[in-house]
Structure formats: C-alpha cells, structure tokens
Amino acid sequence: MPKEEYLGDGLYASFDGFMFMLRAPRSGGDHWVGLEPAVLRNFDEYRKRAIKEMQNERNHKDTK
C-alpha cells in the first residue's frame, strides 16, 4: 500500500486500496475526507468542467 504523501497547502493523501483519503492536520485534530471511487470520478468530472468553464470565460474576455 502506498505511504501517505504530502500534496501541499497542508494536505496529505493516502490510498487504502478502495478509497483515497485526504488529511488536513489541525491544532484541534486532523480533518479527514474519504473519496470512494464514485465520488472521486464525480470530483474529476467537476474538475474538468470547472477548468473548461474558466478557460472559456478567459477566451471570451480576450475577444472583447
């Protein structure tokens, strides 16, 4: 199993063979988010749409 890895901005990632775990250490205790396969796919689709939308907005501004 891959070891936990630091991603940046205080965020760590690990994988247990089924879901990806994101951990953000805080003074009052760590915050955890588990991304099951379906949620990870949904997030990836959202990420793609958001990037495309931002690029379209920038292109629209450049043509004015």
Element (H, E) at 42: helix 37-62
Q: What are 8-53's pLDDT values in tens digits?
A: 999 999 999 999 999 999 999 999 999 999 999 999 999 999 999 9
Q: How far apart are CA 47 and CA 50, in angstroms?
A: 5
* 64 — pLDDT class (breaks 50, 70, 90): low
Residue 61 has pLDDT above 80, yes or no: no
Structural domain that includes position 50: 5-62
Q: How far apart are CA 21 and CA 55, in angstroms?
A: 29
The pTM of this model reads: 0.77
| Number of compact structural domains in the chain | 1
